[in-house]
Structure 1
Protein backbone atom coordinates (compact mmCIF):
# COMPACT_ATOMS: atom_id res chain seq x y z
CA UNK A 1 0.00 0.00 0.00
CA UNK A 2 2.80 2.38 0.88
CA UNK A 3 4.59 1.65 -2.39
CA UNK A 4 1.44 2.29 -4.43
CA UNK A 5 0.77 5.52 -2.57
CA UNK A 6 4.28 6.83 -3.22
CA UNK A 7 3.95 6.02 -6.92
CA UNK A 8 0.72 7.95 -7.15
CA UNK A 9 2.27 10.93 -5.41
CA UNK A 10 5.37 10.86 -7.64
CA UNK A 11 3.33 10.61 -10.83
CA UNK A 12 1.20 13.69 -10.09
CA UNK A 13 1.47 16.24 -13.01
CA UNK A 14 2.64 19.78 -12.15
CA UNK A 15 0.04 22.50 -12.94
CA UNK A 16 0.77 24.65 -16.12
CA UNK A 17 -0.32 25.58 -19.67
CA UNK A 18 -0.99 22.96 -22.24
CA UNK A 19 0.33 23.24 -25.79
CA UNK A 20 -3.05 24.36 -27.08
CA UNK A 21 -3.26 27.07 -24.44
CA UNK A 22 0.22 28.32 -25.35
CA UNK A 23 -0.68 28.46 -29.05
CA UNK A 24 -3.86 30.38 -28.29
CA UNK A 25 -1.97 32.83 -26.04
CA UNK A 26 0.74 33.45 -28.64
CA UNK A 27 -1.88 33.96 -31.34
CA UNK A 28 -3.76 36.51 -29.23
CA UNK A 29 -0.52 38.36 -28.44
CA UNK A 30 0.41 38.48 -32.13
CA UNK A 31 -3.01 39.85 -33.04
CA UNK A 32 -2.81 42.53 -30.33
CA UNK A 33 0.76 43.42 -31.31
CA UNK A 34 -0.17 43.72 -34.98
CA UNK A 35 -3.16 45.90 -34.15
CA UNK A 36 -1.01 48.13 -31.93
CA UNK A 37 1.67 48.48 -34.64
CA UNK A 38 -0.94 49.23 -37.29
CA UNK A 39 -2.48 51.93 -35.10
CA UNK A 40 0.94 53.42 -34.33
CA UNK A 41 1.92 53.39 -38.00
CA UNK A 42 -1.35 55.10 -38.97
CA UNK A 43 -0.80 57.80 -36.36
CA UNK A 44 2.73 58.44 -37.64
CA UNK A 45 1.50 58.75 -41.24
CA UNK A 46 -1.26 61.17 -40.21
CA UNK A 47 1.26 63.22 -38.21
CA UNK A 48 3.68 63.38 -41.14
CA UNK A 49 0.91 64.29 -43.56
CA UNK A 50 -0.34 67.02 -41.21
CA UNK A 51 3.21 68.35 -40.85
CA UNK A 52 3.62 68.49 -44.63
CA UNK A 53 0.29 70.25 -44.99
CA UNK A 54 1.28 72.80 -42.36
CA UNK A 55 4.54 73.51 -44.19
CA UNK A 56 2.77 73.99 -47.52
CA UNK A 57 0.14 76.19 -45.90
CA UNK A 58 2.86 78.33 -44.33
CA UNK A 59 4.53 78.70 -47.72
CA UNK A 60 1.20 79.86 -49.16
CA UNK A 61 0.88 82.42 -46.39
CA UNK A 62 4.37 83.77 -47.05
CA UNK A 63 3.66 84.23 -50.76
CA UNK A 64 0.24 85.77 -50.15
CA UNK A 65 1.69 88.16 -47.58
CA UNK A 66 4.05 89.52 -50.24
CA UNK A 67 1.29 89.77 -52.83
CA UNK A 68 -1.15 91.36 -50.38
CA UNK A 69 1.35 94.02 -49.34
CA UNK A 70 2.30 94.87 -52.91
CA UNK A 71 -1.30 94.98 -54.16
CA UNK A 72 -2.32 97.13 -51.21
CA UNK A 73 0.15 99.80 -52.39
CA UNK A 74 -0.65 99.43 -56.10
CA UNK A 75 -0.30 102.65 -58.10
CA UNK A 76 -2.19 103.34 -61.33
CA UNK A 77 -3.07 106.70 -62.87
CA UNK A 78 -5.14 107.16 -66.00
CA UNK A 79 -2.95 108.43 -68.82
CA UNK A 80 0.38 107.39 -67.26
CA UNK A 81 1.79 104.53 -69.35
CA UNK A 82 4.51 103.79 -66.79
CA UNK A 83 1.89 102.77 -64.24
CA UNK A 84 0.04 100.29 -66.42
CA UNK A 85 -1.17 97.01 -64.95
CA UNK A 86 0.08 94.09 -67.04
CA UNK A 87 -1.73 90.77 -66.72
CA UNK A 88 -1.68 87.49 -68.60
CA UNK A 89 -4.01 84.54 -68.17
CA UNK A 90 -2.00 81.41 -68.90
CA UNK A 91 -4.21 78.35 -68.44
CA UNK A 92 -2.32 75.09 -68.71
CA UNK A 93 -3.58 71.87 -70.24
CA UNK A 94 -1.23 69.88 -68.01
CA UNK A 95 -1.75 68.89 -64.39
CA UNK A 96 0.29 71.81 -63.06
CA UNK A 97 -2.61 74.23 -63.54
CA UNK A 98 -2.67 77.95 -64.37
CA UNK A 99 0.53 79.97 -64.64
CA UNK A 100 -0.80 83.52 -64.67
CA UNK A 101 1.30 86.68 -64.61
CA UNK A 102 0.67 90.08 -63.09
CA UNK A 103 2.89 93.16 -63.06
CA UNK A 104 2.17 96.55 -61.53
CA UNK A 105 3.82 99.53 -59.87
CA UNK A 106 3.81 99.61 -56.09
CA UNK A 107 5.48 101.28 -53.13
CA UNK A 108 8.27 99.24 -51.55
CA UNK A 109 10.38 100.05 -48.49
CA UNK A 110 13.98 100.88 -49.38
CA UNK A 111 17.06 100.30 -47.26
CA UNK A 112 18.68 102.75 -46.86
CA UNK A 113 15.86 105.25 -47.10
CA UNK A 114 16.24 107.19 -50.39
CA UNK A 115 15.18 110.51 -48.87
CA UNK A 116 17.67 110.29 -45.99
CA UNK A 117 20.40 109.15 -48.36
CA UNK A 118 19.82 112.14 -50.62
CA UNK A 119 19.83 114.53 -47.65
CA UNK A 120 23.09 113.07 -46.39
CA UNK A 121 24.78 113.01 -49.81
CA UNK A 122 28.25 114.60 -49.63
CA UNK A 123 28.19 116.09 -53.14
CA UNK A 124 25.96 116.53 -56.16
CA UNK A 125 27.43 113.52 -57.99
CA UNK A 126 26.69 111.20 -55.09
CA UNK A 127 23.21 112.68 -54.79
CA UNK A 128 22.49 112.02 -58.47
CA UNK A 129 23.76 108.45 -58.09
CA UNK A 130 21.61 107.83 -55.02
CA UNK A 131 18.59 109.33 -56.75
CA UNK A 132 19.00 107.10 -59.80
CA UNK A 133 19.54 103.87 -57.87
CA UNK A 134 17.24 104.09 -54.87
CA UNK A 135 13.52 104.67 -54.89
CA UNK A 136 10.53 103.34 -53.03
CA UNK A 137 8.45 103.21 -56.24
CA UNK A 138 9.14 100.01 -58.19
CA UNK A 139 7.49 97.69 -60.67
CA UNK A 140 6.71 94.21 -59.37
CA UNK A 141 5.93 91.06 -61.32
CA UNK A 142 4.68 87.68 -60.09
CA UNK A 143 4.65 84.53 -62.20
CA UNK A 144 5.69 80.88 -62.23
CA UNK A 145 9.03 79.95 -63.75
CA UNK A 146 12.18 77.84 -63.29
CA UNK A 147 14.27 78.54 -60.21
CA UNK A 148 17.18 80.88 -61.17
CA UNK A 149 19.03 80.36 -57.86
CA UNK A 150 22.71 79.61 -58.25
CA UNK A 151 23.13 81.20 -61.66
CA UNK A 152 25.79 83.79 -62.30
CA UNK A 153 24.84 87.44 -62.50
CA UNK A 154 24.46 87.32 -66.27
CA UNK A 155 21.25 88.93 -67.49
CA UNK A 156 20.85 86.77 -70.62
CA UNK A 157 21.62 83.52 -68.78
CA UNK A 158 19.30 84.31 -65.90
CA UNK A 159 16.60 85.61 -68.22
CA UNK A 160 16.64 82.53 -70.44
CA UNK A 161 16.48 80.35 -67.34
CA UNK A 162 13.46 82.30 -66.10
CA UNK A 163 11.49 81.74 -69.29
CA UNK A 164 12.78 78.37 -70.51
CA UNK A 165 10.97 75.48 -68.83
CA UNK A 166 12.04 72.82 -71.32
CA UNK A 167 14.47 71.07 -68.99
CA UNK A 168 12.75 68.48 -66.88
CA UNK A 169 15.18 68.83 -63.97
CA UNK A 170 14.33 72.49 -63.45
CA UNK A 171 12.39 73.22 -60.30
CA UNK A 172 9.32 75.39 -60.82
CA UNK A 173 8.85 78.21 -58.31
CA UNK A 174 6.77 81.33 -57.81
CA UNK A 175 9.00 84.26 -58.77
CA UNK A 176 8.85 87.85 -57.57
CA UNK A 177 10.65 90.37 -59.77
CA UNK A 178 11.21 93.96 -58.67
CA UNK A 179 12.77 96.65 -60.85
CA UNK A 180 13.40 100.39 -60.67
CA UNK A 181 12.19 100.75 -64.27
CA UNK A 182 8.49 101.52 -64.17
CA UNK A 183 7.90 101.20 -67.91
CA UNK A 184 6.69 97.61 -68.51
CA UNK A 185 8.29 97.61 -71.97
CA UNK A 186 11.76 98.06 -70.46
CA UNK A 187 12.02 94.93 -68.28
CA UNK A 188 8.82 92.88 -68.19
CA UNK A 189 8.10 92.55 -71.91
CA UNK A 190 11.73 91.83 -72.95
CA UNK A 191 11.94 89.20 -70.24
CA UNK A 192 8.82 87.42 -71.46
CA UNK A 193 9.59 87.76 -75.17
CA UNK A 194 13.37 87.21 -75.39
CA UNK A 195 14.35 86.02 -71.92
CA UNK A 196 16.75 88.88 -71.19
CA UNK A 197 17.09 91.07 -68.13
CA UNK A 198 18.30 94.55 -69.17
CA UNK A 199 20.76 96.37 -66.91
CA UNK A 200 20.36 99.81 -68.52
CA UNK A 201 17.49 101.76 -70.02
CA UNK A 202 17.52 103.53 -73.38
CA UNK A 203 19.21 106.58 -71.84
CA UNK A 204 21.99 104.52 -70.26
CA UNK A 205 20.70 104.77 -66.70
CA UNK A 206 21.27 101.67 -64.55
CA UNK A 207 18.28 99.45 -63.82
CA UNK A 208 18.02 97.42 -60.66
CA UNK A 209 16.35 94.05 -61.26
CA UNK A 210 15.93 91.62 -58.37
CA UNK A 211 14.59 88.11 -58.98
CA UNK A 212 13.51 86.29 -55.81
CA UNK A 213 12.04 82.76 -55.71
CA UNK A 214 9.23 82.92 -53.14
CA UNK A 215 8.01 79.33 -52.84
CA UNK A 216 8.62 75.97 -54.49
CA UNK A 217 6.37 72.88 -54.76
CA UNK A 218 3.85 75.04 -56.59
CA UNK A 219 1.25 73.66 -59.00
CA UNK A 220 -0.59 76.75 -60.15
CA UNK A 221 -0.87 80.51 -59.72
CA UNK A 222 -4.33 81.73 -60.68
CA UNK A 223 -5.53 85.34 -60.66
CA UNK A 224 -9.08 86.68 -60.99
CA UNK A 225 -9.94 90.37 -61.30
CA UNK A 226 -13.16 91.87 -59.97
CA UNK A 227 -14.61 95.10 -61.37
CA UNK A 228 -17.51 95.33 -58.93
CA UNK A 229 -19.86 93.13 -60.94
CA UNK A 230 -18.03 90.02 -62.17
CA UNK A 231 -14.68 88.23 -62.21
CA UNK A 232 -12.30 88.25 -65.18
CA UNK A 233 -9.35 86.00 -65.99
CA UNK A 234 -7.24 88.99 -67.06
CA UNK A 235 -7.46 92.75 -66.55
CA UNK A 236 -7.99 94.67 -69.78
CA UNK A 237 -8.36 98.19 -68.35
CA UNK A 238 -4.65 98.68 -67.65
CA UNK A 239 -5.02 102.25 -66.35
CA UNK A 240 -7.67 101.46 -63.73
CA UNK A 241 -7.24 99.57 -60.47
CA UNK A 242 -9.60 96.58 -60.07
CA UNK A 243 -11.81 96.65 -57.02
CA UNK A 244 -10.46 93.28 -55.89
CA UNK A 245 -8.04 90.60 -57.03
CA UNK A 246 -8.51 86.96 -56.12
CA UNK A 247 -5.26 85.02 -55.77
CA UNK A 248 -5.29 81.22 -55.68
CA UNK A 249 -2.10 79.23 -55.11
CA UNK A 250 -2.08 75.45 -55.47
CA UNK A 251 0.80 73.42 -54.08
CA UNK A 252 1.70 69.75 -53.89
CA UNK A 253 3.99 67.41 -51.96
CA UNK A 254 4.60 63.99 -53.50
CA UNK A 255 1.20 62.47 -54.34
CA UNK A 256 -0.77 64.79 -52.05
CA UNK A 257 -2.21 67.97 -53.52
CA UNK A 258 -3.23 70.92 -51.43
CA UNK A 259 -5.17 73.81 -52.83
CA UNK A 260 -3.60 76.72 -51.08
CA UNK A 261 -5.19 79.83 -49.80
CA UNK A 262 -7.71 81.78 -51.78
CA UNK A 263 -8.13 85.35 -50.66
CA UNK A 264 -9.64 88.43 -52.22
CA UNK A 265 -7.26 91.38 -52.03
CA UNK A 266 -8.59 94.90 -52.31
CA UNK A 267 -6.53 97.95 -53.17
CA UNK A 268 -7.77 99.54 -49.95
CA UNK A 269 -5.90 96.84 -47.99
CA UNK A 270 -9.11 95.04 -47.06
CA UNK A 271 -8.92 91.26 -47.47
CA UNK A 272 -12.41 89.92 -48.04
CA UNK A 273 -11.73 86.19 -47.83
CA UNK A 274 -8.93 84.19 -46.22
CA UNK A 275 -9.41 80.44 -46.20
CA UNK A 276 -7.59 77.15 -46.69
CA UNK A 277 -9.32 74.35 -48.60
Structure 2
Protein backbone atom coordinates (compact mmCIF):
# COMPACT_ATOMS: atom_id res chain seq x y z
CA UNK A 1 0.00 0.00 0.00
CA UNK A 2 1.17 3.50 -0.85
CA UNK A 3 0.03 6.35 1.41
CA UNK A 4 -0.05 10.02 0.39
CA UNK A 5 0.04 12.53 3.27
CA UNK A 6 -0.53 16.24 2.54
CA UNK A 7 0.97 18.57 5.17
CA UNK A 8 0.72 22.32 5.71
CA UNK A 9 3.17 24.88 7.11
CA UNK A 10 1.41 27.11 9.64
CA UNK A 11 2.22 29.44 12.52
CA UNK A 12 3.34 27.30 15.46
CA UNK A 13 0.47 26.61 17.83
CA UNK A 14 2.46 28.01 20.78
CA UNK A 15 2.84 31.43 19.14
CA UNK A 16 0.42 34.26 19.94
CA UNK A 17 -0.81 35.46 16.58
CA UNK A 18 -0.63 39.21 15.86
CA UNK A 19 -2.84 41.03 13.37
CA UNK A 20 -1.20 43.49 10.96
CA UNK A 21 -1.84 47.18 11.72
CA UNK A 22 -3.80 47.59 8.47
CA UNK A 23 -5.93 44.50 9.36
CA UNK A 24 -5.12 42.90 6.00
CA UNK A 25 -4.01 39.64 7.60
CA UNK A 26 -1.79 37.99 10.20
CA UNK A 27 1.76 39.25 10.74
CA UNK A 28 4.13 36.41 9.78
CA UNK A 29 7.40 38.35 10.05
CA UNK A 30 9.92 36.57 12.29
CA UNK A 31 7.24 34.16 13.50
CA UNK A 32 8.03 30.52 14.25
CA UNK A 33 6.37 28.20 11.73
CA UNK A 34 5.81 24.46 12.04
CA UNK A 35 3.75 21.57 10.70
CA UNK A 36 0.02 21.83 11.26
CA UNK A 37 -0.77 19.62 14.32
CA UNK A 38 -3.52 17.68 12.50
CA UNK A 39 -1.13 17.01 9.61
CA UNK A 40 1.46 15.79 12.11
CA UNK A 41 -1.09 13.28 13.41
CA UNK A 42 -1.71 12.09 9.83
CA UNK A 43 2.03 11.58 9.27
CA UNK A 44 2.32 9.65 12.54
CA UNK A 45 -0.60 7.38 11.61
CA UNK A 46 0.91 6.67 8.19
CA UNK A 47 4.21 5.73 9.84
CA UNK A 48 2.45 3.44 12.32
CA UNK A 49 0.64 1.70 9.46
CA UNK A 50 4.00 1.19 7.74
CA UNK A 51 5.52 -0.19 10.94
CA UNK A 52 2.64 -2.70 11.11
CA UNK A 53 3.46 -3.84 7.58
CA UNK A 54 0.29 -2.32 6.11
CA UNK A 55 2.13 0.21 3.90
CA UNK A 56 5.29 0.14 1.80
CA UNK A 57 5.77 3.82 0.97
CA UNK A 58 4.78 7.15 2.48
CA UNK A 59 4.82 10.27 0.28
CA UNK A 60 4.49 13.68 1.91
CA UNK A 61 3.12 16.60 -0.10
CA UNK A 62 3.11 20.29 0.81
CA UNK A 63 1.78 23.26 -1.14
CA UNK A 64 3.28 26.57 -0.07
CA UNK A 65 6.43 28.70 -0.03
CA UNK A 66 9.95 27.34 -0.48
CA UNK A 67 10.36 27.29 3.31
CA UNK A 68 7.79 24.46 3.41
CA UNK A 69 10.74 22.19 2.62
CA UNK A 70 11.44 22.35 6.36
CA UNK A 71 7.96 20.99 7.05
CA UNK A 72 8.51 18.14 4.61
CA UNK A 73 11.92 17.41 6.16
CA UNK A 74 10.22 17.11 9.54
CA UNK A 75 7.87 14.46 8.13
CA UNK A 76 10.80 12.68 6.47
CA UNK A 77 12.66 12.68 9.79
CA UNK A 78 9.61 11.14 11.45
CA UNK A 79 9.71 8.26 8.96
CA UNK A 80 8.20 9.25 5.60
CA UNK A 81 10.04 8.09 2.47
CA UNK A 82 9.97 11.05 0.06
CA UNK A 83 8.40 14.42 -0.44
CA UNK A 84 6.81 16.64 -3.06
CA UNK A 85 6.77 20.43 -2.69
CA UNK A 86 4.48 22.48 -4.90
CA UNK A 87 5.84 26.00 -4.49
CA UNK A 88 3.18 28.68 -4.22
CA UNK A 89 3.42 32.10 -2.59
CA UNK A 90 0.55 33.75 -0.79
CA UNK A 91 -2.76 32.23 0.24
CA UNK A 92 -3.78 28.99 -1.47
CA UNK A 93 -7.43 28.18 -0.91
CA UNK A 94 -8.70 24.65 -0.12
CA UNK A 95 -10.23 24.09 -3.57
CA UNK A 96 -6.94 24.88 -5.32
CA UNK A 97 -5.10 22.60 -2.88
CA UNK A 98 -7.60 19.81 -3.56
CA UNK A 99 -7.21 20.22 -7.34
CA UNK A 100 -3.41 20.00 -7.11
CA UNK A 101 -3.65 16.97 -4.82
CA UNK A 102 -6.02 15.31 -7.28
CA UNK A 103 -3.38 15.69 -10.01
CA UNK A 104 -0.69 14.27 -7.73
CA UNK A 105 -2.94 11.33 -6.84
CA UNK A 106 -3.38 10.63 -10.56
CA UNK A 107 0.42 10.53 -10.95
CA UNK A 108 1.31 8.60 -7.80
CA UNK A 109 -1.71 6.25 -7.59
CA UNK A 110 -1.76 5.94 -3.77
CA UNK A 111 -4.08 3.48 -2.06
CA UNK A 112 -4.83 5.89 0.78
CA UNK A 113 -4.72 9.67 1.22
CA UNK A 114 -4.33 10.49 4.91
CA UNK A 115 -4.57 14.16 5.89
CA UNK A 116 -5.42 16.36 8.85
CA UNK A 117 -9.08 17.30 9.15
CA UNK A 118 -8.24 21.02 9.21
CA UNK A 119 -5.41 23.54 9.48
CA UNK A 120 -5.14 25.70 12.59
CA UNK A 121 -4.65 28.91 10.57
CA UNK A 122 -7.87 29.03 8.53
CA UNK A 123 -9.83 26.18 10.22
CA UNK A 124 -11.52 25.56 6.86
CA UNK A 125 -11.97 21.78 7.24
CA UNK A 126 -12.63 21.46 3.48
CA UNK A 127 -9.63 20.00 1.64
CA UNK A 128 -10.24 16.33 2.42
CA UNK A 129 -13.90 16.49 1.49
CA UNK A 130 -13.20 18.44 -1.72
CA UNK A 131 -10.49 15.98 -2.73
CA UNK A 132 -12.84 13.05 -2.18
CA UNK A 133 -15.44 14.75 -4.39
CA UNK A 134 -12.92 15.48 -7.17
CA UNK A 135 -11.61 11.91 -7.16
CA UNK A 136 -15.03 10.31 -6.49
CA UNK A 137 -13.40 8.32 -3.67
CA UNK A 138 -15.04 7.22 -0.41
CA UNK A 139 -14.10 9.31 2.61
CA UNK A 140 -13.85 8.84 6.36
CA UNK A 141 -13.58 12.13 8.23
CA UNK A 142 -12.52 12.98 11.80
CA UNK A 143 -10.88 9.58 12.34
CA UNK A 144 -10.04 8.61 15.93
CA UNK A 145 -9.00 5.09 14.85
CA UNK A 146 -7.86 3.68 11.50
CA UNK A 147 -7.53 -0.01 10.64
CA UNK A 148 -6.40 -1.53 7.34
CA UNK A 149 -7.59 -4.92 6.12
CA UNK A 150 -6.28 -5.57 2.62
CA UNK A 151 -7.84 -2.92 0.39
CA UNK A 152 -10.47 -1.95 2.99
CA UNK A 153 -10.11 0.86 5.51
CA UNK A 154 -12.13 0.93 8.74
CA UNK A 155 -12.50 4.38 10.29
CA UNK A 156 -13.86 5.00 13.78
CA UNK A 157 -15.09 8.55 14.24
CA UNK A 158 -16.62 10.47 17.12
CA UNK A 159 -20.20 11.65 16.66
CA UNK A 160 -22.72 13.23 19.01
CA UNK A 161 -24.17 9.84 19.97
CA UNK A 162 -20.82 8.16 20.65
CA UNK A 163 -18.55 6.32 18.20
CA UNK A 164 -19.32 5.41 14.60
CA UNK A 165 -17.28 2.91 12.58
CA UNK A 166 -17.45 3.00 8.79
CA UNK A 167 -15.78 0.69 6.28
CA UNK A 168 -14.35 2.15 3.09
CA UNK A 169 -13.35 0.24 -0.02
CA UNK A 170 -9.96 1.61 -1.09
CA UNK A 171 -8.60 3.75 -2.50
CA UNK A 172 -10.00 6.19 0.05
CA UNK A 173 -9.60 9.57 1.76
CA UNK A 174 -9.24 9.70 5.55
CA UNK A 175 -8.98 12.89 7.63
CA UNK A 176 -7.50 12.67 11.12
CA UNK A 177 -8.74 14.00 14.45
CA UNK A 178 -6.77 14.85 17.58
CA UNK A 179 -7.39 11.63 19.51
CA UNK A 180 -6.05 9.34 16.77
CA UNK A 181 -2.48 9.26 18.14
CA UNK A 182 0.36 11.18 19.77
CA UNK A 183 2.99 12.17 17.15
CA UNK A 184 6.59 11.15 17.84
CA UNK A 185 9.61 13.40 18.05
CA UNK A 186 12.16 12.96 15.29
CA UNK A 187 15.50 11.67 16.58
CA UNK A 188 18.76 13.38 15.65
CA UNK A 189 19.97 10.45 13.46
CA UNK A 190 16.66 10.49 11.58
CA UNK A 191 16.89 14.26 11.13
CA UNK A 192 20.30 13.78 9.52
CA UNK A 193 18.98 10.96 7.32
CA UNK A 194 16.04 13.14 6.23
CA UNK A 195 18.45 15.56 4.59
CA UNK A 196 19.35 12.85 2.08
CA UNK A 197 15.78 11.86 1.26
CA UNK A 198 14.42 13.24 -2.03
CA UNK A 199 12.01 16.15 -2.37
CA UNK A 200 10.56 16.78 -5.83
CA UNK A 201 10.03 20.48 -6.59
CA UNK A 202 6.90 21.36 -8.58
CA UNK A 203 4.72 24.38 -9.33
CA UNK A 204 0.94 24.73 -9.74
CA UNK A 205 1.58 25.36 -13.45
CA UNK A 206 3.07 21.86 -13.73
CA UNK A 207 -0.37 20.51 -12.84
CA UNK A 208 -2.34 23.08 -14.81
CA UNK A 209 -4.09 24.46 -11.73
CA UNK A 210 -4.97 28.14 -11.27
CA UNK A 211 -4.44 29.03 -7.60
CA UNK A 212 -5.81 32.58 -7.87
CA UNK A 213 -7.97 33.25 -4.76
CA UNK A 214 -11.72 33.09 -5.25
CA UNK A 215 -12.36 34.85 -1.94
CA UNK A 216 -11.33 38.32 -0.82
CA UNK A 217 -10.21 38.93 2.75
CA UNK A 218 -11.96 42.14 3.77
CA UNK A 219 -10.59 42.51 7.28
CA UNK A 220 -8.78 40.50 9.94
CA UNK A 221 -9.24 41.58 13.56
CA UNK A 222 -8.49 40.20 16.98
CA UNK A 223 -11.41 38.85 19.05
CA UNK A 224 -12.84 41.11 21.71
CA UNK A 225 -11.20 40.77 25.08
CA UNK A 226 -13.30 38.80 27.52
CA UNK A 227 -14.78 40.97 30.24
CA UNK A 228 -14.17 40.08 33.87
CA UNK A 229 -16.92 38.14 35.62
CA UNK A 230 -18.80 39.25 38.69
CA UNK A 231 -20.16 37.50 41.77
CA UNK A 232 -23.82 37.65 42.71
CA UNK A 233 -25.36 37.15 46.12
CA UNK A 234 -28.43 35.16 45.14
CA UNK A 235 -30.23 33.36 42.33
CA UNK A 236 -32.69 36.24 42.13
CA UNK A 237 -29.86 38.71 41.54
CA UNK A 238 -28.39 36.41 38.88
CA UNK A 239 -31.72 36.18 37.05
CA UNK A 240 -32.14 39.93 37.30
CA UNK A 241 -28.72 40.63 35.77
CA UNK A 242 -29.26 38.07 32.97
CA UNK A 243 -32.60 39.62 32.17
CA UNK A 244 -32.00 43.35 32.63
CA UNK A 245 -28.27 43.77 31.91
CA UNK A 246 -27.19 40.91 29.65
CA UNK A 247 -30.55 40.66 27.88
CA UNK A 248 -30.32 36.90 27.48
CA UNK A 249 -33.58 36.05 29.26
Q: Considering the TM-score relative to the shorter chain, is it more than 0.5?
A: no
| Superposition TM-score, scaled by structure 2 size | 0.25
Greater RCO, 1 or 2 (C-alpha within 8 Å, sep 6+)? 2
Q: Which has the larger radius of gyration?
A: 1
More helix by share: 1
